[in-house]
Amino acid sequence: MAGDTLSLELGPIRPPSESESLLLRVTRNCPWNHCSFCKTYKKHKFSKRSVAEVKADIDAVAEIVLRLEELSRKLGYGGEVSGMVAAHVETKGLDGVDSQSAMHVAHWLYFGKGSVFLQDANSLVLPADKLCEILNHLKMRLPQISRITSYARSQTLAKKSVEDLKKLRTAGLDRIHVGLESGSEHVLEIQCKGTTPEEHIKGGKNVIEAGMELSEYIMPGAGGREFSKENALETARVLNEIDPHFIRVRTFTPLPRSEIYQMIEAGEFAPNSDDESVEELRLMIEKLDVKRSYLASDHIMNLLQELEGQIPQDKERMLKTIDDYLALDADTRLRFRLARRLGMATSVENLNHPMLQDRVEEILSRLKNMPGDIEENIRKIASRHL
């Protein structure tokens, strides 16, 4: 809180699956901050917020909730934070509350699922007793909470005792999101992940043994053409050892000015084409032998978003989806990739729309006349979404 104005300190990112969650910043930035593909925290120092600071934000949220409910009653909505109440806050604000904080809490109440995400990149670097104190205060002040989740690094989880993780689970931490990215030691070195396949496995198993849900994020294409097969096989091997609750696909897309982008420009890293990353993902899925994992393709950088389902039950259907795509002629695949990267299509069937066909042809014609390889130009288009 700043002066008499209620405000929350919000971090820069959260998983797509936490888009409707209340964001509670527990740490600032990333304690590792060396990953070659990531720019999010590069110019920012890591720090731990004090328990008192985080509790103050929780108290601020509780007060904002009361003010939103009071506003709802004044507007005739009986205390419910409806879409109309949220729209009122967006246009006219909320007395005594920072505009971003008011809208964030209104959005959380409007969607009504009660989930909370602890920011930033690795909240579990906090000692278990301090994090438990925060969790207990959170649940006391906001009893409508239904789920609490956080990012964590495999290396951190591998070093945490299962007992400490069980304490966190008892205090209310339900799910951990981990950027596994790859199970290949070579690829992890290229990415400067600062962790090993063995730490991925140990950290993941610790979370599951503690009774929490585990989301592991994988990155097809992260090893480029040289390590494409290895990336698929070793990632499948590590996932088979862990058997996480969720496997979330994040197709590798090099960000301009990132270290790995500079490696590409220097000719030190040959990135996959979209189709090569799809083939790599197919091999990984084929080799998966998990019992409880749900695979989700819930990110804008994934070419085939319909790749979603429970493994092993939906495995053959997902493989067929990939095979159907790869069986298309090269021109159709090219047009779909372009439409997908422009945010104009979510499936190949969308290409049947005449207006979309005309727009894609127009842009494709311009791309073919631009300097550079067409795959490189499509990749540059894709990177603008990140």
**pLDDT per position as a tens digit, 218-249:** 999 999 999 999 999 999 999 999 999 999 99
pLDDT for the residue numbered 257: 84
More confident residue, 255 or 202: 202
Determine the average pLDDT of the residues in 199-215. Answer: 98
pLDDT for the residue numbered 121: 96
pLDDT for the residue numbered 385: 53
pLDDT for the residue numbered 1: 45
- Distance CA(278)–CA(272), nearest Å, equals 9
What confidence tens digit (pLDDT) does each residue in 63-104 have?
999 999 999 999 999 999 999 999 999 999 999 999 999 999
Query: Domain spans of the chain?
Result: 1-118, 152-327, 330-386
Q: What is the DSSP letter of 304?
A: -
The region of weakest confidence among 166-175, 252-261, 288-297, 311-320 is 252-261
Per DSSP, helices labelled H in 75-176 are 83-92, 99-111, 128-141, 154-159, 162-171
pLDDT for the residue numbered 248: 98
More confident residue, 108 or 345: 108
What confidence tens digit (pLDDT) does each residue in 323-382 have?
999 999 999 999 999 999 888 888 899 998 998 999 999 988 888 888 877 877 777 776
- Distance CA(123)–CA(264), nearest Å, equals 32
pLDDT for the residue numbered 368: 83
Instruction: Report whether 165 contacts 202 (CB < 8 A).
Output: no
pTM for the model: 0.93
pLDDT for the residue numbered 315: 98
Q: What is the DSSP letter of 381?
A: H
Torsion of CA 120, 123, 125, 126, to 10 degrees: 120
More confident residue, 71 or 113: 71
What confidence tens digit (pLDDT) does each residue in 25-78 have?
999 999 999 999 999 999 899 999 999 999 999 999 999 999 999 999 999 999
Whether 271 has a pLDDT exceeding 70, the answer reads yes
CA–CA distances in Å: residue 86 to residues 57, 93, 96, 100, 273: 20, 9, 16, 12, 42
152-327 is classed CATH 3.40.50.300: no
Average pLDDT, the chain: 94
pLDDT for the residue numbered 341: 85
Backbone angles phi, psi at 310, to 5 degrees: -85, 135
Q: List Cβ neighbours of 354 (8 Å cut-off, separation of 6 or more).
A: none
Considering the chain, what percentage of its residues have pLDDT values greater than 90? 84
Whether 2 has a pLDDT exceeding 60, the answer reads no
